[in-house]
Amino acid sequence: MNEDFITVLRKHLKSPQKAIIIPHKNPDGDALGSSLALMHFLLLEKHQAVVVSPNDYPNFLNWLPGQEKILIHNKSKELVQKKINEATLIFTLDFNALSRIDKLGEIISKAKAEKIMIDHHEAPEDFASLMYSDPYMSSTCEMVYNIITTLNPDSINSEIASCLYTGIMTDTGSFKYPSTTAETHKAIAHLIEKGADGTVIHQKIYDSSSFNRLKLLGIALSNLNRIRSLPIVYITLSQQELNSCDYQKGDTEGFVNYGLSLEGVQFACIMIENEKEGKIKMSFRSKGSFSVNEFARKYFQGGGHLNAAGGMSTDSISETIELFNKAVAEVSSQF
């Protein structure tokens, strides 16, 4: 972490602040865990702090300490606008582009508050006046851990520890992705000492599936397709298939990883239809040096990390499969 970042942040936090903390749209464990941990920390330090999520979050995160206080922008527009007008600091967590927070992007770009980005995605946009951006970090939670332990290590209580543990665990695939370092494990050890219960958190996130979600996984796996002569697979889920299993937000989390679990496969994609939004949400995962971040940027209006990225298509599923086939043909020499 850059010394200047901490020096300037420390200056800001010398006097009482009104902070807004914003995770990305469809927040995951890292986005919500880091936002809530920062909220708990700022409250302990006698600031005001509110987490504003662009939209609702999945059920598997609805136990995180403090989640009941989260304001959802698309449900409480007026209240959120008021809070943003009054804010002195706006923290943006776990995203690199204002498009990742939908309409909140325009609202915060007009806000007078100081904007502070904390994020580990590549190629951050230049919308914040203060940035802690590091694509080598395992998670935004590990970055918030670094900030809190630098500013006031004694403030880590069991609530902060549980929130940070959750995001580090989910973004590292339970501590197995290459972004997991010795520092990550040291942070996790410290968080366990401070009250994070790894077994309970793991169960809440990964062993809390509904019957319907497991049925949907069955459909997803039966839709698994291989690209001929390349180590690439893709999965599709149509709106009709989602409806047949009473799809709930978050139900498809992790499905794309099953493609990557096949021996020899280096690149997996899942395409999920969202009829209401008129688009196909795409998730990309890779093993090794193939950059799904670049792939998502170049072909599917998205981005992310080297080995995990997302994007979208406004065409039908069958057209999107064709586009995907054309795109992988163009990058086939990389495999």
Binding site for ligand 5GP (CB under 6 A): 24, 97, 100, 283, 302-305, 308-312
Sole binder of Mn ion in the list 114, 171, 251, 253 (CB under 5 A): 171
Q: Which is nearer to ligand 5GP, 125 or 197 (CB)?
A: 125
Q: Does 114 contact Mn ion by CB under 5 A? A: no
**Per-residue contact flags (x/-) with Mn ion for residues 82 to 111, judged by CB under 5 A:** ------------x-----------------
Q: Torsions phi, psi of 162, nearest 5?
A: -65, -40
Q: Does 30 contact Mn ion by CB under 5 A? A: yes
CA separation for the pair 244, 213 (Å, rounded): 11
Widest Cα–Cα separation across the chain: 61
CB of 51 to Mn ion, least distance (A): 15
Q: Does 122 contact Mn ion by CB under 5 A? A: no
66 binds, among Mn ion, ligand 5GP, none (CB under 5 to 8 A by kind): none
Nearest to 245 by CA among 272, 270, 211: 211
CA separation for the pair 3, 329 (Å, rounded): 45
CA separation for the pair 139, 119 (Å, rounded): 8
Q: Which is nearer to ligand 5GP, 280 or 312 (CB)?
A: 312
Tokens 């900030």 map to which residue?
147
Indicate the residue whose CB is closest to ligand 5GP. Answer: 310
Indicate the residue whose CB is closest to Mn ion. Answer: 30
CB of 70 to ligand 5GP, least distance (A): 18
Q: Does 142 contact Mn ion by CB under 5 A? A: no
What's the half-sphere exposure (Cβ side, CA atoms, 13 Å) at 124?
21
Beta strands in the chain (DSSP E): 18-23, 48-53, 71-72, 89-93, 114-119, 130-133, 225-226, 232-237, 267-274, 279-286, 303-304, 308-313
Q: Which is nearer to ligand 5GP, 139 or 162 (CB)?
A: 139
Are 10 and 17 in contact, with CB atoms under 8 Å apart?
A: no
Q: Which is nearer to ligand 5GP, 33 or 87 (CB)?
A: 33
CB of 302 to ligand 5GP, least distance (A): 4
Binding site for Mn ion (CB under 5 A): 30, 94, 140, 171
